[in-house]
Structure 1
Amino acid sequence: MTLTTSVYVLDEIAHQDVFLKGNQLIGATENTRFRDEQKKTWRVGGVGQPEPGNAWILGNHADQGLCALLDIYYRPNAPLRAADNGCEWYCGPGCYAEHDNPACWLEVSFDTAYGYRDEQGRRCGDLHASLVADLGRWLDERAVRWLWEADTLAEVYSGYERLPRLCSAGSEATAWFRTSVLPAIQAKARS
């Protein structure tokens, strides 16, 4: 189980620049493996294929010892989500499009295991609050507007004022994982 926090970059900026800054924040090096590919559309009973118009993902591969998995969702030379964010012509019942996310140029996603704890004692929520604040300051220096959202909070926020909520939400998620999920997994493994 993981904490996922998204930063919605509202103004135009090069996705490669944001990826480099995000990698600096999570401690990636030039040896960190990454991918830059168009998202696949998954169909029931079929193999996923990229389709024209699908967003792209520039992101690190998992299991490299980084504090967070970093993904940047973008469209080449266009906003990720335009202001009109309704269903496309091919949407139908069970549509899984991200229609509730804000219109933005890029979406930056940080993903960290609930059980994360660094040498300073920070947990996943503390880490994500720090990552959002650091990326936010970097974007502010470039006069680029941004919003953020954590999956445990289910609200979109602007600025820094609500970041302490992310710390407490991350702690609550970690506690839930330790007291509910982990014991169930351990009990199942023993049986």
Structure 2
Amino acid sequence: MTLTTDVYVLDEIAYKDVFLKCNQLIGATEATRFSNKQLTAWRQGAAVADHGKAWNIGNEIGQGLCALLDVYYRPGEPFRAVDNGCEWYCDSTCDNDEHENPACWLEVSFDTAYGYKDEQGRYCGDLHACLVAELGAWLDERGVRWLWYADTLATVYSGYDRLADLCSAGSEASAWYRSAVLPAIAGGVS
């Protein structure tokens, strides 16, 4: 079980620059393995409202990073030209009102296990709040507008004000994981 936080980059910027900055934020190195590939037709149709050629550049799992990183984009044009209420993994006919996926140039996704706790004592929500704040500041320096969304809060936000809510929601998810899930695993409950 993981906390997923998305940053919607609204204005044009090179996806490689954003990917490199995000990798820096999560502690990736030149040795970090990643892939850069066009999404399959199934995901492509769901990810982009006009069924264009969507791509994903992302780190491979199992490398010990604090978050799994994925950046969704389309070469030379917006990733999502119009708002789309469906999640990227839904089929194109879904009637999903979980949250509105805004029109954006890029979509950045950070994904971290609920059980995460680092040397600084940060849980997954604290980590994601820091990642959003640092990426947001970097984008602000470049005059690039952005929004963010965390699956535990189920609302799209702008700016920094609600990042404390992400910390709280992440702490609640981490506490639930430690108090309910880990004991169930240890007890062999299926």
Task: Spell out the pairing of 1:42-191 with structure 2 (5 A cutoff).
Answer: 42=42, 53-83=52-82, 85=84, 91-92=92-93, 94=94, 100-188=100-188
Q: Which moved more, 1:141-150 or 1:77-86?
A: 77-86
**Superposition CA RMSD, Å:** 2.4
1:47 paired residue number: none
Q: Which moved more, 1:173-182 or 1:118-127?
A: 173-182
Q: Return the alpha-carbon distance in structure 1 between the equivalents of residues 114 and 70 of structure 2.
A: 18
SS of alignment partner, residue 157 of structure 2 = strand
Matched, 1:11 2:8: no
Q: 1:84 to 1:174 in 2, by over 3 A?
A: closer
Q: Return the alpha-carbon distance in structure 1 between the equivalents of residues 18 and 138 of structure 2.
A: 9
Does the 8 Å contact 1:40/1:54 carry over to 2? no
Cα shift readout 1:108-158 (whole Å, capped 9, x = no counterpart)? 111111111111111111111000000000000000000001000000110
TM-score scaled to structure 1, two decimals? 0.86
Q: Return the alpha-carbon distance in structure 2 between the equivalents of residues 110 and 3 of structure 1.
A: 8
Shift of 1:186: 2.3
One-letter identity of the residue aligned with 1:187? G
Does the 8 Å contact 2:83/2:100 carry over to 1? no
Q: Which moved more, 1:34-43 or 1:10-19?
A: 34-43
Look at both structures and tell me which one has the larger radius of gyration over its CA atoms. Answer: 1
Q: Which moved more, 1:71-80 or 1:177-186?
A: 177-186
Q: 1:178 to 1:86 in 2, by over 3 A?
A: closer
Does the 8 Å contact 2:100/2:156 carry over to 1? no
Does the 8 Å contact 1:3/1:151 carry over to 2? yes
Where structure 2 has 5 or more consecutive residues not aligned to the other structure, the ranges are: 44-50
Does the 8 Å contact 2:3/2:170 carry over to 1? yes
2:39 paired residue number: 39
Q: Return the alpha-carbon distance in structure 1 between the equivalents of residues 16 and 58 of structure 2.
A: 10
Cα shift readout 1:31-79 (whole Å, capped 9, x = no counterpart)? 1000001112459xxxxxxxx7242110000111111111000011110
